[in-house]
Structure 1
């Protein structure tokens, strides 16, 4: 099978398109014929491997060689089950599924059965592959960390990105009044997916506004926590999922819980944990017409380095998808 691998950290130039043996699923795994995958900032950071502290925290290197521990990139996946391990009872060959795995940028991948759900017939493989990391992050951030409620004023900072476009739609499905922050070029997109108000960050600094929000969902991390405090209501909540600057994100993850002990507002930074019940919830929301992935660009499997370069510019509108053709 064809698959991308890498043996050192760096730019997309470290990615190599090679012929590999088809993987064999373990007892609790399935073998997938990959039909689509999506590219996340997580994939870019794992490929880039920096900073060094991040490699230690996430086990991204082998202790002796300090080379990548996972040599095949790609997490989000959608495809067809080809074979199942002996302990797998909930899935069978022929099932169309989506979820997460390691090594999704390949023609075949093995995945834990516990991290997959069946794909509805109405959902394309490309749409399904867009969901796992980004949409689950938005769902858990708003629902579990933000404790979102109907009628609340919610601000999404970075509303046009992969997570942000899901966050806008999910916040509306929860009955919130949504303000999206993005560039002027993305304003119409953000309105079209449900934002009640759009702020062009180049023209207006929302942290200097007189508006106060019940919940700020931050996909960017481009302001200080003191700035966010000013526009949060006294019992408001701030949820950060990271941002372009990894050092800022790490510092925020450490400082946010400390600040929450000192003030009436609540601050949290988190990384999502993929759960099948959340994947199922997202699938049902899509079938009900309450959410739809925003897909920016489609790339063929052989073009994964180009997709990674595009994502690394940090200006993608929604999701960047890898399509994998059926065997001829």
Structure 2
């Protein structure tokens, strides 16, 4: 089968389209014929091995799994001996091991049936970014109707879902994005949109009940200036920072400070959860959230998709089509 493989940590130049053996599912796994795969920052972290501390789990000298990709949607090709939830031909989406490939393995609990009206491309855009936004809001911040919610990085993969979810919960949403994406963020449901090139959101007089920082670059003391005295800050991702810890240093310092102040400072490590996939499926089928896709790439051009992600400012999600 054809797959996007890397043999060492580094840049997107090391991503190579190559023929490799088709994976064989274990007893509790499903083999998925992948139709589309989402591209998100976790792909970049796996590719570069950054921050360096993450290599304890990813592989010290090179990636344990050489095939890139995590989000996936497609049809079930085969099931393991202990899998009873799916059968060949079922259309599914969720978290796969190496979804930049014609076939990928996945734990049965990390898949659910694809929302009926979504395309494979839309379904592939849901899992990682959708679950991250859901866990940031429903699982951590829990905004109430009328709460003021600030989403920094509102036009990206996680941010575009966070805006939709916060709006669904009845919050008044302010989105922060670049100048070319203001209309897009407003279309997601944001009441107010700030262009970060023209306005410093941390310098204004407004106070927010919830801040979801998807950009991961602003110092916590600046974010606390615009956080309500009893508000919640959720830091998503670990961009920037040192080569060893990345943005985790900022998040660790915030976690140590949080118990001693009125504000709730939380760093989010999103984990795949079956119940969250089911929630995303239901919300998509009810039309309460819609995956926003910036552009798609054929499998052979997956490296270009990662390069586009590295440049920043995608409008929603990037998707690789297999």
Same-fold status (TM-score > 0.5): yes
**What secondary structure does 2:176 align onto?**
strand
Shift of 1:243: 4.7
Instruction: Give the corresponding residue for 1:15.
Output: 15
CA distance in 2, matches of 1:170, 1:269: 19
CA distance in 1, matches of 2:218, 2:289: 29
Shift of 1:258: 1.1
Shift of 1:201: 0.9
Deviations 1:157-204 (A, max 9, x none): 000011100000010011100000011111000001100000111111
1:231 aligns with 2:229: no
1:3 aligns with 2:3: yes
Q: Which one of the candidate residues 274, 277, 280 is aligned to 1:276?
A: 274
CA distance in 2, matches of 1:166, 1:73: 23
**What secondary structure does 1:83 align onto?**
strand
* 2:178–2:313 Cα contact (<8 Å) kept: no
Structure 1 residues 75 and 118: alpha-carbon distance in aligned structure 2, compared to 1, 3 A threshold: same
The alignment yields a C-alpha RMSD, in angstroms, of: 1.1
* 2:238–2:248 Cα contact (<8 Å) kept: no
Structure 2: state its 5+ residue gaps. Answer: none
TM-score by length of 2: 0.96
CA distance in 1, matches of 2:251, 2:64: 24
Q: Which one of the candidate residues 311, 315, 318 is aligned to 1:317?
A: 315
CA distance in 2, matches of 1:246, 1:13: 24
CA distance in 2, matches of 1:95, 1:123: 14
* 2:116–2:285 Cα contact (<8 Å) kept: no
Q: Which one of the candidate residues 118, 126, 129 is aligned to 2:121?
A: 126
Instruction: Give the corresponding residue for 1:100.
Output: 95
1:145 aligns with 2:140: yes
Structure 1: state its 5+ residue gaps. Answer: none
Shift of 1:101: 1.3
**What secondary structure does 2:311 align onto?**
coil
Shift of 1:45: 1.3
**What secondary structure does 1:160 align onto?**
coil
Count of matched residue pairs: 319
1:76 aligns with 2:74: no
Instruction: Give the corresponding residue for 1:50.
Output: 50
CA distance in 1, matches of 2:205, 2:51: 37
**What secondary structure does 2:296 align onto?**
strand
Q: Which one of the candidate residues 153, 166, 186 is aligned to 1:171?
A: 166
Deviations 1:123-169 (A, max 9, x none): 11001000000010000001111122111100000000111000000
Instruction: Give the corresponding residue for 2:205.
Output: 210
Q: Which one of the candidate residues 162, 177, 182 is aligned to 2:177?
A: 182
Instruction: Give the corresponding residue for 1:41.
Output: 41
For residues 284-295 of structure 1, the aligned pairs below 5 Å read 284-295=282-293
